[in-house]
Chain A
Amino acid sequence: MAGKGGATPSTYSPSPTTQKTKSLSFGNDEVLRPDDREWHQCRPAFFQIGVVAAAAGSAYADFGSTKVIVSVFGPRESKKAVMYSDIGRLNCTVSYTNFATPVRGQGSDHKEFSSMLHKALEGAIILETFPKTTVDVFALVLESGGSDLPVVISCASLALADAGIMMYDLVTSVSVSCLGKNLVLDPTLEEESHQDGSLILTCMPSRDEVTQLTITGEWSTPKINEGMKICTDACSKFSQIMKSCLKGFDSALEEEDSNVD
């Protein structure tokens, strides 16, 4: 303890945010969130596609301090060990960088994220279009700032679209946290550590279909209803941003092409 409190730590680690920002006083409606957002306001979102040259498709997403990069490879030959299948396979891996979390190396305890990403995406991909082959999705969380999995899912669907994998729809995902009597949309790491429960909704906005719903903690039925409503609303807004990201890239390409012609 005494060693930790020393003025010059031997290795760099970001100072915990709890000490910098004003303390959370939940239950008071006038108080805004630590980053001055409204309860039902998302962090500013930024998407970019085509960030990894070696991958078939890739995307970068940045929601406040949550930063992820997703690369898609394939379709390529399945491993020799797996059985023959008439439809394609999806293989998802979510990993954290060592420096993603305030304490180094803490992000490695998210083993379930890979299978959750797989479940969220597989319903949206038209697997029949690449029989016997595998599409690999590698997500890397560069900085964990809360709502990591929803950001990874949205970013992965953008990377799949960039790779030209046939999909029924883009997949967007948003989480809400239950803090006392308030529902906070797109919670930060600090808010997630105080939450009573969390709800992650993954949907295909233009099809109005939910591909995954994860609820943990204490929830009442009206709260779940309210939470899902907030999430679907936010998902459709994110899909607009993601669509414009895909189109922005394409229109730039189109201009280049027309110049060449």
Chain B
Amino acid sequence: MGEDSEWVTPGEVLGKASKFKAGRGAYVSPDNLTVYASLTGLRRILSPPPDSPDQRPTVEVTGHKAHGAIPEPGSIVIARVTKVMARMASADIMCLGTKSVREKFTGIIRLQDVRATEIDKVDMHMSFHPGDIVRAVVLSLGDARAYYLSTAKNELGVISAQSAAGATMVPISWTEMQCPLTGQIEQRKVAKVGG
């Protein structure tokens, strides 16, 4: 049944809701309990996991290009800091997970979301500088202007930064990075990369 595949277009009937669950690219119409496709692509039927209480197979539509990724709460993003203010820093989201975004999205990291401990002692200017590349998690859709981002985890924070001399700095502690050219030490909210 897994090899059963064909090209479908939006609005095509994929089956009855009593027989199938709607996966990605499909939806159930509450009027007639029918599963329709909502995307163009290849129809695939996935068997349910053996221990699941719902034994209906899932039908999904994939294969054709989907629209560009958009941030959603919980997704890990790579962003470039554009502006650092006393209570927040704004950043342009560049990647969502491993995918680059097609369109620009702006996010803000608020003072209380920079790190998990001693959050009352955080200084924004000692955590980020404009141009830093940070890894962050999307907290929420935020307000009308921006997504709310957080770096309050060990593996989140600055992953790449340039020193005043223009060299890529090397992290030397949780809060410090050093310039390989001048030996100057700058303050950052450093992310734990790898390991």
Q: Could you list which residues of chain A lie within 8 angstroms of chain B, going by C-beta atoms?
A: 56, 73-78, 80, 82-84, 86, 126, 130-133, 161-170, 204-207, 239, 242-243, 246-247, 250-251, 253-254
Task: Check A164 against B67 for contact (C-beta < 8 Å).
Answer: yes
Min C-beta distance of B10 to chain A, whole Å: 4
- Cα A75 to Cα B101 with chains together (Å): 10
Min C-beta distance of A193 to chain B, whole Å: 34
- Cα A204 to Cα B66 with chains together (Å): 21
Task: Check B68 against A74 for contact (C-beta < 8 Å).
Answer: yes
Task: Check A74 against B10 for contact (C-beta < 8 Å).
Answer: no
Within 8 A of A (CB), among B33-74: 36, 38-41, 63-68, 70, 72
Given A162-B40, A166-B38, A168-B11, are A56 and B144 also a contact pair (CB < 8 Å)? Answer: no
Given A74-B67, A77-B104, are A126 and B27 also a contact pair (CB < 8 Å)? Answer: yes
Task: Check B68 against A75 for contact (C-beta < 8 Å).
Answer: yes
Min C-beta distance of B114 to chain A, whole Å: 23
- Cα A166 to Cα B27 with chains together (Å): 10
In terms of DSSP, what is the predominant structure of the interface of chain B? loop
Closest 3 CB pairs of A and B: A169-B11, A76-B103, A206-B11
Given A83-B144, A130-B70, A204-B11, are A77 and B106 also a contact pair (CB < 8 Å)? Answer: yes
- Cα A84 to Cα B36 with chains together (Å): 30
Cβ contacts under 8 Å, B72 to chain A:
131
Cβ contacts under 8 Å, A254 to chain B:
7
